[in-house]
Amino acid sequence: MAVPKPARRRTSSHLRTCLLALGVALSSCATTTRRPPTPAGEGHGPEYRRHILNGFAGIAHEDAETEGLGLGIDYEYRFSELFGVGAFTEFIAGEGRAVIVGADLVWHPTEPLSLFLGYGEERRNAEWEGVMRVGGLYEFPIGGGWAVSPTVAYDFSLKHPDEDVVVLGVSLGYAW
């Protein structure tokens, strides 16, 4: 007598929401190391670095059975102390291969914490589809404009809701 395989368990939407909220609360986006204060009388430039470039390495989880290695790069231009705009690209290799290219809005509620929301296009199996990305990272400055940041992102597939992806990793960034 054949034993039936257990049904594939899907994450409930409530659990996904809680995991996403926890990841966003504990994460941030790009290196925002402040410049040292200027001596009195030398003008009043921005107290933050406007250009931020990050390299990323991590793990992408589509479901309990599918995961892959994610490598990416992103750039952010901070137009104010609280907000910036950016662009990102990521390559995911695992059971299948995917490339994601997109743009995001970045909010810096506190200096080490930044959160982002963006739209991108994912190419998988020679087909492009839209994804919404939510996430962030929390930076630990290591000197000279460099920072290491644990990173969390959640990609909502607009075409296949059962193919959402959680990305966890570390970014190495430089701000100038």
The verdict on residue 143 lying in a domain is yes
Whether 92 contacts 67, CB under 8 Å? no
**CATH code, domain carrying 115:** 2.40.128.100
Instruction: Determine the longest span between alpha carbons in the chain, in angstroms.
Output: 86
Helix (H) or strand (E) holding 160: none
State yes or no: pLDDT of 10 exceeds 70: no
Q: Is residue 29 part of a domain?
A: no
Instruction: State yes or no: pLDDT of 30 exceeds 70.
Output: no
Q: What is the pLDDT of residues 100-148, one digit of tens each?
A: 999 999 999 998 999 999 999 999 888 899 999 999 999 999 999 999 9
Query: Is residue 12's pLDDT more than 60?
Result: no
pLDDT score recorded for residue 96: 76
89 domain residue, yes or no: yes
pLDDT number for residue 160? 86
Please check whether residue 115 lies inside any domain of the structure: yes
Instruction: Answer whether residue 176 is part of any domain.
Output: yes
Predicted model pTM:
0.72
Question: Is residue 9 domain-resident?
Answer: no
In a domain, 147, yes or no: yes
The domain of 81 spans 66-176
In tens, the pLDDT along 145-163 reads 999 999 999 999 998 888 8
Indicate the number of domains in the chain: 1
Q: What is the pLDDT of residue 64?
A: 65
Q: Are 84 and 108 in contact (CB under 8 A)?
A: yes
Which one is predicted more confidently, 49 or 88?
88
